[in-house]
Amino acid sequence: MNATSHWPYFVDDVDRLTWIRLLVRVRDRQGWLVLAFCQMTTHVHAILQVGNDSLAPGMEYLNREYSKDFNARHDRVGHLVRKRFGSRRVEDGRDLLGTYAYVVLNPVEAGACPRPEDWRWSSYATTVGLTADFPFTDASLVLAEAGGQVEQLRALVDARAVELVRGGRVR
């Protein structure tokens, strides 16, 4: 999801926590599994396992309720979300691991932090056992694809981070 015009999607921590509370509400109502998420200033990435026909109504609720709260808090009117959310089906285990690394490395690539576990608004540190901030996430499918061990997942993500640096893709 991206915000319209010059507006950030998240102005402050209250916005971020509001969005997280709404995500948890939608997860509970729709039966989603939240494998990972990463909130940037202007957008969000999430890896979700969803049932048939639950993604569109769940995202519609999340975006509508978040936009109403955001607009009320920041004395703003009109649409907050620029366009419909983007989504694609993860094809296999390799695709899941690549997508996971992309999501959690987003703040590293953007130059917001040196390591993915340093980004406060990502589920990565919870997944690798450094925090308990986001207990509603369940990365067990990702961990299983990485060999079942947190250390293996960390090694994979660290290797992708090195590729970003070597490729000059870190801002």
Instruction: Confirm whether 63 is domain-assigned.
Output: no
Other C-beta atoms closer than 10 Å to the C-beta of 79 total: 12
Average pLDDT of the segment spanning 51-73: 94
Domain that holds residue 149: 93-166
Give the per-residue pLDDT at 84.
74
Instruction: Confirm whether 15 is domain-assigned.
Output: no
Number of domains into which the chain is organized:
1
Instruction: Confirm whether 69 is domain-assigned.
Output: no
Instruction: Confirm whether 115 is domain-assigned.
Output: yes
User: What's the burial of 18, exposed, middle or buried (CB within 10 Å: 0-12/13-18/19+)?
Assistant: middle
Instruction: Confirm whether 161 is domain-assigned.
Output: yes
| Better pLDDT: 51 or 5 | 51
Other C-beta atoms closer than 10 Å to the C-beta of 107 total: 23
Each residue's pLDDT tens digit, 96-133: 999 999 999 999 999 999 999 999 999 999 999 999 99
Instruction: Confirm whether 50 is domain-assigned.
Output: no
- 58 is written with which tokens? 């769940």
pTM of the full structure: 0.92
